[in-house]
Amino acid sequence: MSATATAAANASASASAMIIENPDQLSGAVLAEIERAADPRWREIMAAAVRHLHGFVRETQLTEAEFQRACGLVARLGQLTTASHNEVVLAAGSLGLSALVCLLNNGGGEATTANLLGPFWRAGAPRVEQGGSIVRSPTPGLPIFVTAWVRDRAGHGVEGAEVDVWHSSAEGYYENQDPAQADMNLRGKLFTDARGRIAFRSVKPAGYPIPVHGPVGDLLRAQGRHNLRPAHIHFLINKPGFKTQFSQVYSSDDPNLETDVQFAVTRALVGQYVLHDGEAAPDADVSGPWYSLEHHFVLDRGDDAWPRPPISGKAEGGRPELTLLERRP
* Cα 248 to Cα 8: distance, rounded to the nearest angstrom: 62
- Nearest-CB residue to Fe ion? 118
Q: For Fe ion, give the closer residue by CB, 118 or 196.
A: 118
Q: Smallest gap, in angstroms, from Cβ of residue 144 to Fe ion?
A: 15
* Cα 182 to Cα 169: distance, rounded to the nearest angstrom: 12
Q: What is the dihedral of CA 295, 301, 304, 305, to 10 degrees?
A: -110
Q: What are phi and psi of 287, to 5 degrees?
A: -110, -30
List, as own/partner pairs, every contact residues 23-27 make where C-beta atoms lie below 8 angstroms and the sequence separation is at least 24, other chains included: 23/58, 26/54, 27/51, 27/54
* Cα 207 to Cα 256: distance, rounded to the nearest angstrom: 8
Q: Smallest gap, in angstroms, from Cβ of residue 180 to Fe ion?
A: 18
Amino acid at 146: V
Tell which positions 147-176 bind Fe ion, by CB under 5 A: none
- Piece of 24-32, 115-123, 132-140, 210-218 that binds Fe ion (CB under 5 A): 115-123
Instruction: Provide the 8-state DSSP code for 242.
Output: B
* Interface pattern 117-146 for Fe ion (x via CB under 5 A): -x----------------------------
Q: Smallest gap, in angstroms, from Cβ of residue 231 to Fe ion?
A: 9
DSSP-derived secondary structure for 255-311: TTGGG-TT----GGGEE-EEEESSS--SSTT--S-EEEEEEEEEPPBS--PPPPPS-
For residues 234 and 194, the answer to whether their CB atoms sit within 8 Å is no
Q: Smallest gap, in angstroms, from Cβ of residue 174 to Fe ion?
A: 7
Q: For Fe ion, give the closer residue by CB, 187 or 243.
A: 187
Terminal-residue alpha carbon distance, the chain: 75
Q: For Fe ion, give the closer residue by CB, 119 or 196.
A: 119
* Cα 134 to Cα 111: distance, rounded to the nearest angstrom: 30
Q: How many Å is the Cα radius of gyration of the chain?
A: 25
Q: For Fe ion, give the closer residue by CB, 118 or 214.
A: 118
| Total residues binding Fe ion (CB under 5 A) | 1
* Interface pattern 16-35 for Fe ion (x via CB under 5 A): --------------------
Q: For Fe ion, give the closer residue by CB, 54 or 225.
A: 225
Q: For Fe ion, give the closer residue by CB, 118 or 188.
A: 118
Q: Smallest gap, in angstroms, from Cβ of residue 118 to Fe ion?
A: 5
Q: For Fe ion, give the closer residue by CB, 197 or 314.
A: 314
- Piece of 89-97, 111-119, 139-147, 239-247 that binds Fe ion (CB under 5 A): 111-119
- Piece of 64-72, 116-124, 188-196, 257-265 that binds Fe ion (CB under 5 A): 116-124
By the criterion CB under 5 A, which residues form the site for Fe ion? Answer: 118
